[in-house]
Amino acid sequence: MNTINARSGMTAALLAASIALFVSPSAVAAPTETQTASTVLGATAYTCEFSGTAVHTKEPTPVHTGPYGDAPVTSTIHAGFLVHTYYRCINKYGNIWYELTGSIDNGTPNARFIYSGYVK
């Protein structure tokens, strides 16, 4: 079985601090299973919660820089791969996306998303 585990070098403290800049001064704790993180990038907004799950790709899966189909694609994951996810995100249209790096703060170039329709 093929496995992908994408992980950024950002620590939980940095992630929490970055989220706090855009959510509220009281959001200093790192996201946990019961906490959510919201991100607004200009007119695009999405909400994420920690998932810590693994999904299988059922077809070639484009990896996007944001949780939207029009976000730039950085790579493609082949069908049949096991992919570890860190966050389950819902964009402003109600579509479910999975974040692969653990980096979801505003402006993070490392954040990568796959659409839930490509996985099982």
Are 48 and 71 spatial neighbours (Cβ–Cβ below 8 Å)? no
Q: Is the pLDDT of residue 111 over 80?
A: yes
pLDDT classification of 35: cutoffs 50, 70, 90: very low
pLDDT at 2: 52
What's the CATH fold of domain 2-118?
SH3 type barrels. (2.30.30)
Residue ranges per structural domain of the chain: 2-118
Please tell me the pTM assigned to this model: 0.64
| Calpha distance 4→37 (Å, rounded) | 24
Look at strands 96-99 and 54-56 and give their pairing: unpaired
More confident residue, 69 or 104: 69
3-state secondary structure 35-94: CEEEEEECCEEEEEEECCCEEEECCCEEEECCCCCCCCEEEEECCCEEEECCEEEEECCC
Q: Is the pLDDT of residue 112 over 90?
A: yes
**40-87 residue pLDDT tens:** 444 468 999 999 999 999 999 999 999 999 999 999 999 999 999 999
Helix (H) or strand (E) holding 15: helix 12-22
